[in-house]
Structure 1
């Protein structure tokens, strides 16, 4: 078995065991809301970012006097998760540390991800449990990409429940050193205009907006993402592509100014031995749009 399907009469979704990646989210009429992977454009659909979000300076970090290397967004998206519980409308997947993960990330952990359909909403709940004997340092992010139907040349925008005040962007492969003021349009709207991502993602740190809606220019809402209160948010697409990623994060890319010590990394989560970190996000779809 390579994937799990869930349904509740209003929604149907598919989750791959590789990376616990959401691959499809469709309504009862068959309308697909998730980007359907295209290697020529973007080969993913909704990867889980763990134990880092984005890139590390020089590709690695230091902990307890030793240097380790991790790829962009960490390793969870490449790992096969085990099925721990399954029902018609819910599944619990689990990833545990292994000798392979400990070689590049020296912390014992269990990461669980529960997908649950609740009427016209998909809720995704994460639990990171520190099973080791020392404090654990990590970042955790969601990276769902949403399909943008081009029927009639419709234009799209994001509507924020609160306006972010600052934005950061990449400077080469790493995060730029400074944030800059950022103002949304009327109604806290961000039009998904050509050229918006010419300089890569928009990264909002210290986020206050809990909800981000994807809507047509006429105001009709297609879906609403609940960030779960994540402190950081990435907005990204490849220029000209027909999808938009709305990404709740706990942590973000390194800048050139970081020390390289994992415990000092800006945005890092510190978890005591034996403790559990919990967070979630949710997607509510509006089938009429």
Structure 2
């Protein structure tokens, strides 16, 4: 496990998947991240690459050949190298190899940089195409934040405030694929109350959300985290059934649409990088 810290925060990571496994507020000892209890969901903050969500039949087609990829891709199951590290910053790197090329025919570099500044953690991604051809990919974050249900608190005491949305247009999931239909979830003063029932039919998937700042807050004690992100056009909000966490998930790409033809280059939300081109995006949480 790798640790960085400053006077406000301490963050711990697993080289497997370059996953953020703990973020502790050193001023009060409070753990910000979900515990990873496998009875509900064993993840904590997996990196979704080179696909986000499920592929139709767990397969895609590229240049006439069919490949298989698991849900959310393979990066979360790979050990990253530590490219650089200091007291309050670490950079992980994953590069293509013989095994990855069998299921994803592109040479690439994926860097993930975690930086602590005061009471804020910033997570930055850089994907570079090292192939001699165009590269197609998606990338998503999947951090799960703990919901305090002790000391008289419960899940319904929490809410998510949106900076720029009065309502949310949701794409329902059907067998892990994106439905062709949408539904509207009305917000209360740009705020979504949390409840276990909210996720009874899986994640809330949005492709038209305008907000780039969300605030997860407790209505009783006013504890909150401010979540910001850039260069991620899509967003998901999810929790496992009856579990005391919520995931705030900025994405570049989503699961396959129900009627997708499985061609990778024609997948909704897929990104194309030219040779030697970079793609950069980030998200951050500020603890208050």
TM class by smaller structure: over 0.9
Alignment of 1:52-131 (within 5 A): 52-131=51-130
**TM-score under structure 1 normalisation?**
0.95
Q: Which runs of 4+ in 1 moved over 6 A?
A: none
Partner of 1:139: 138
Q: Distance in 1 between matches of 2:168 and 2:147?
A: 26
Query: Please, what is the CA RMSD of the aligned residues?
Result: 1.2
When residues 115 and 243 of structure 1 are mapped into structure 2, their CA distance, relative to the original with a 3 A threshold, is same
Partner of 1:153: 153
- The match for 2:185 is 182
* Residues 59-94 of structure 1: per-residue CA shift (max 9 Å, x gap): 110000100000000000000000110100000110
1:223-238 matched pairs, under 5 angstroms? 223-238=225-240
For 2:206 and 2:223, how far apart are their aligned partners in 1? 22
The number of equivalent residue pairs is 283
Find the counterpart in structure 1 of residue 210 from structure 2: 208
How far off its partner does 1:218 sit?
Answer: 4.3
The question of whether the paired residues in 2 share the 8 Å contact of 1:213 and 1:221 is answered with no
Does residue 7 (structure 1) correspond to residue 37 (structure 2)? The answer is: no
How high is the TM-score relative to the length of structure 2? 0.96
What secondary structure sits across from 1:100 in the alignment? helix
Q: In the alignment, does 2:21 pair up with 1:23?
A: yes
- The answer to whether the 8 A contact 2:158-2:193 is kept is yes
Q: Give the C-alpha shift of residue 217 in structure 1.
A: 2.5
Secondary structure of 1:227 counterpart: strand
Distance in 1, matches of 2:249 and 2:57, equals 24
Does the 8 Å CA contact 1:59/1:71 hold for their aligned counterparts? yes
Unaligned 5+ segments in structure 1 are none
Equivalent residue number for residue 176 of structure 2:
173
Give me the whole-angstrom Cα distance separating, in 1, the residues matched to 2:280 and 2:37: 32
Deviation at 1:194, TM superposition (A): 2.9
Q: Is the 8 A contact 2:40 2:241 kept in 1?
A: no
Distance 1:233 1:193 in 2: 19
Q: CA deviation at 1:108?
A: 0.4
